[in-house]
Structure 1
């Protein structure tokens, strides 16, 4: 069910939510967090659908902030989605002028779930400093996505300069499977140091840079980025050792081949991760991702991307 509230206030929206909950029998106490989604002036539905999918694992109240570039003054329009239109969540879409959204913390305050963690998510452009943004300052976790930015690598450098505990980026989350497979390969004999590494992938994809930065930070070895125009992000990683290289190859974005000296080639399903999977993974933890902070500060510098 969708309820439209033109020219309203967040206090009126909160009362309408209470009424809809009483009428429909929904239990607010079942929500485990408040997810605030700031889409700026970009498209709304993809972010809402992704949040709805993630809410099936993490029931939450979703507050979506939309900036209308043609709007001035203090007018606020709201849309409430519950039931089948909201997954396992309650979705509130607030559309206002940039002037009003400059005080987004005050705007969303009446809609926050009591005693529940707050997570902020920017699906598109990254704010200058997520931790000092009006919404970011009240959140325990702050999720960005440099892949969707106009200038991904420049945005990644901005995140490095402004990093605070609680920050993370979905370009990093997309690497979870890569990091797991590479770590597992190195946990097998022979236990030799990696002398150098190569990472190959799309030349504009921040995940390529981040995987190289992680390897440089974790292995303390030279890392070469071989950037290509392939559609997929990371396509190939080579870890050079004295006994021969470990090669993890995923050219088609579906299946990975792992080759190690003295062992038969192994194949593993490794499809490109969907946005909802990455968001769900980040909503599972509210503590700081210390490795992410170390890769930003130390790893990027080691590969010359700081």
Structure 2
């Protein structure tokens, strides 16, 4: 690892090239570039998650830490690592001060691997409009986390209003295990009957202020064509915010999946004894790794987001954004020329 104090973007590029020459050609297996945007208070957990994801998906990790935007003098401190604490590949941690924080792309862009897809992840509050952040504009996929907002449900609607194909949210990723269990349970009922089961309605118990139950309800509504209600649970929900899901079926039947808070779920369905299977709360690195498995638009997410927020036509939007310059320290914004 090499630490560069009060440096420049060109110096970081040169140091990375020098370490690559001495350390060997570790870039040959890189599948993508992961750009992480985090505050100093969250940078440690962001590094841990990015390290885990890099082990699953070979990638170059670029972490942009926007510190002290109001600092009077712009400054860049950088750590350059190859095969270090951030995984087996190349990684750069950049701490930016002053107005350089508003131009993070000027340092990040020269570090991108040629012809490799770019994924940008905001571990914290993302920009209200992705088009105002060049780190989001040039990315092939953009990962946010509405659960970190002060008002997750309001943040979810903001993500829908600003949505473009390629966007996703870790609040959606936290519902993956629940969606898998519910789908397999309904398949089991259909197999017993010999025909497809029809869902007439549903109820989700959990934390109504969490974005994950909203997206899970939206997914069920979009897939089953019925309304799904969210009510407060009787116990403290985990990070997913979901305690139980009950689905009302045709033929006056009902299935229920309930978390037991011991890393499992109890499945209740007609004419069969209750069964238990694993339903653990997943670490942040596992969530991020799942999102790096795909680089195409996540259509089930856009459909769930539509149903959860009442907006429509999200998947029909243009996936290419035009960068809009916005200065948080000023009062005006203008569209940059291409």
What is the match of residue 235 of structure 1?
243
Task: Work out the CA distance in 1 between the residues paired with 2:81 and 2:42.
Answer: 17
On the 8 A contact 1:71/1:96 being kept in 2, the answer is: no
Mark the runs of 5 or more structure 1 residues left unpaired by the alignment: none
> Match for residue 164 of structure 2?
164
> What does residue 146 of structure 1 align with?
146
3-state SS of paired residue (2:310): helix
Structure 1 outlier segments of 4+, above 4 Å: none
Partner of 1:73: 73
- Tell me the distance in 1 between the aligned counterparts of 2:155 and 2:262: 25
| Partner in structure 1 of residue 204 of structure 2 | 199
Q: How many residues matched?
A: 301
Are 1:16 and 2:22 matched, yes or no?
no
Contact persistence 1:256–1:270 (CA under 8 A): yes
Distance 1:244 1:130 in 2: 45
Alignment match, 1:290:
299
In 1, Cα distance between the equivalents of 2:26 and 2:310? 48
Spell out, residue by residue over 1:33-69, the C-alpha distance to the aligned partner (whole angstroms, 9 max, x if none): 1111111453211101110111011111111111122
CA contact (8 A) 2:212 2:242 kept: yes
SS of residue matched to 1:35: strand
Counterparts of 1:1-306 in structure 2, within 5 Å, are: 2-69=1-68, 71-97=71-97, 99-187=99-187, 188-189=189-190, 190=193, 191-228=196-233, 230-232=236-238, 233-241=241-249, 242-252=251-261, 254-301=263-310
RMSD: 1.7
**Structure 2-normalised TM-score?**
0.84
- State the distance in 1 between where 2:149 and 2:309 align: 19
* CA deviation after TM superposition for structure 1 residue 98, in Å: 5.1
